[in-house]
Structure 1
Amino acid sequence: MSTKVLIIGACGQIGTELTTALRNTYGFSNVIASDIRKSESDVFNQGTFELLDARDKDAIKACVEKHKITDVYLMAALLSATAEKNPDFAWDLNMNSLFHVLNLAKEKVIQKVFWPSSIAVFGENSPKKNTPQHTIMEPSTVYGISKLSGERWCEYYHKNYGVDVRSIRYPGIISWKANPGGGTTDYAVEIFHEAVQKGSYTCFLRDDTSLPMMFMDDAVRATINIMKAEPESVKVRSSYNIAAISFTPAELATAIQQIIPEFAIAYEPDSRQKIADTWPESIDDSTATADWNWSHEFDMKTIVSEMISNLQRVLV
């Protein structure tokens, strides 16, 4: 049977670019984008789009059966900073959508599931540097709690029901194509927009806050590659650490000033600083490398160059 893909939450920061990459991989007719509302992005005018509430199992099942879907990418979620403002809704969306998709896989309605986790699963007692694949995990945010709970359920469904579910823990994602979605690492996208448009930026984190980051192209490639890997190569069925680079706001500002010398940055930490303080500074992703050959391609210099050159083209 050929691969037929449904992306739930296709209009989000990662979902938008993942939709394009999956259509380039499997063909436009084989990839269905869906979300609770349609984005204005041209991406969603170039292929089939379905309005779909991730909390509605019957609607998901109907869409799966209508399009003969084999693989579901469940990208719908309320991210860290936004989830703290509405914890009940965050738990409902983040957890029940996962149960719906896992149960459809358990019922053999779909064959394979991708569900993203996050570095938010770690907590203040986790090792800060080179945080290992298996370690203490005591998240302090609703988002992190939901992601850690989801990891345990993914592994449970795999072990007990044979569900082919695959997951990676995303670090902060940097992209020039899509707006950030309400996360604690959003500054690393906002800073480029402000640098290009205004020449200055006020950061909501301290200058010395080091966090793991990744360019969107690497994140999308990791997502597709883990789904294309042979089942026996995917040995972790909770979620894999993946990593690229780590930097502080001050280090990023210095890198931007290499291209935009007049760029100025100020710091006014807000509630997101408390969240960032519980997260890792860097991630050990050697397990993903060993199991399915993961490696990142974009370093700090190439990320900064890509972001500024593309934003200067589309914003100025």
Structure 2
Amino acid sequence: MKRIVVTGAGGQIGSELVPHLRGLYGSENVLATDLRPLAGPVFEGGPFAPLDVRDGRAFSDLLGSFRADTLIHLAGILSAKGEDQVALAWDVNVNGSVAALEAARERGTTFFLPSSIAAFGPSTPHRDTPQDTLQRPTTIYGVAKVTLELLCDYYHLKFGMDTRGLRFPGLISHQALPGGGTTDYAVHIYYDAVRTGRYTSFIAPGTFMDMMYMPDALDAVVRLLEADPARLAHRNAFNISAMSFDPEGIAASIRRVLPSFTLDYAVDPLRQGIAESWPDSLDCSAAREEWGFAPRYDLDAMTRDMLERVSAKLGVAA
């Protein structure tokens, strides 16, 4: 039976991953942590403990007292927000992750760390971006992700730790709104489509980025954690993606359900510059071959489900 600790449980991924894991492994076996508790199923549906991930001693004690065999370390500051708070982003994202790695090493737990398409940069091949390729990111978030990808590989080679991770694309969810990422527009567009029938994009037309619907992301985490380690040639930072589109592509998909939907633009130079440094599409063959990655949702299937669920959430007739 897995005993799992999840940091950053109140974030976009954690707020859905924790209930998903509790459904699979039992509520009592998944401990959610964050800086402070919040209302909602993550904090009310099972054990919770406050944790500053930079406190290595508290981290190790928590893993020990919970008898954890798996640590899923999600806590971090996202790309656009990180550019406004560079020192804090490095402190939380890197120093906090080093504390997590050390605590996991001390306690002998499997360690899962999400990476991101932000780990790539303008000099990376943008189409069919290889699993192993040049990585020269131009954001502090991306620099931190490359650092942590290398550290996870190092801890596996040096200490024999069972480290695993995914490079997430933009994640789209009807449950939790994102918090300061460059791909946020791909969530907000659905909410505005339901509320007002129009959306103003801060990302320019023709800017393609990889994306994935949250149910596929949750499934990918579990598949990788359950994978036979003997099959994992890469272990960390697997490319995964389900679709690649620009704002016009997602708008066209919405119009197939809501024909009157309109899209205009007020491009944000910061987030546009970040988006242009990232890949247009990823080669996910390593994830497929090594642990059976197989997303179920394409753009139109995701759009139909998102609009239906957002409409129900907002109390608007679909």
Q: How far apart are the structure 1 equivalents of 2:16 and 2:104?
A: 25
Q: Secondary structure at the match of 2:249?
A: helix
Q: CA RMSD in A?
A: 1.0
Identity rate, percent: 39
For 1:178-257, list aligned pairs within 5 A. Answer: 178-257=176-255
Q: Secondary structure at the match of 1:186?
A: helix
Deviations 1:140-167 (A, max 9, x none): 0000000000000000110011011100
Q: How far apart are the structure 2 equivalents of 1:235 and 1:105?
A: 21
Q: Secondary structure at the match of 1:185?
A: helix
Q: How far apart are the structure 1 equivalents of 2:261 and 2:38?
A: 32
In the TM superposition, residue 106 of structure 1 has moved relative to its aligned partner by 2.4
Task: Work out whether residues 102 and 163 of structure 1, in 8 Å CA contact, stay in contact via their aligned partners in 2.
Answer: no
What's 2:272 paired with? Answer: 273
Task: Work out whether residues 64 and 110 of structure 1, in 8 Å CA contact, stay in contact via their aligned partners in 2.
Answer: no
What's 2:67 paired with? Answer: 68
Task: Work out whether residues 72 and 110 of structure 1, in 8 Å CA contact, stay in contact via their aligned partners in 2.
Answer: no
Task: Work out whether residues 211 and 279 of structure 1, in 8 Å CA contact, stay in contact via their aligned partners in 2.
Answer: yes
Task: Work out whether residues 126 and 279 of structure 2, in 8 Å CA contact, stay in contact via their aligned partners in 1.
Answer: yes
Task: Work out whether residues 117 and 151 of structure 1, in 8 Å CA contact, stay in contact via their aligned partners in 2.
Answer: yes
Q: Secondary structure at the match of 2:183?
A: coil
Larger deviation, residues 94-103 vs 154-163: 94-103
What's 2:288 paired with? Answer: 289
Q: How far apart are the structure 2 equivalents of 1:182 and 1:40?
A: 21
The one-letter code of the counterpart of 1:55 is R
Q: TM-score, normalization: structure 1?
A: 0.97
Task: Work out whether residues 106 and 162 of structure 1, in 8 Å CA contact, stay in contact via their aligned partners in 2.
Answer: no
Q: How far apart are the structure 2 equivalents of 1:298 and 1:156?
A: 34
Deviations 1:210-263 (A, max 9, x none): 100000011111111101111112221331111110011011011111111221
The runs of at least 4 consecutive aligned structure 1 residues that moved more than 3 Å come to none
Q: Secondary structure at the match of 2:182?
A: coil
Q: TM-score, normalization: structure 2?
A: 0.97
Q: How far apart are the structure 1 equivalents of 2:130 and 2:78?
A: 23
For 1:49-60, list aligned pairs within 5 A. Answer: 49-60=48-59
Q: How far apart are the structure 2 equivalents of 1:147 and 1:132?
A: 17
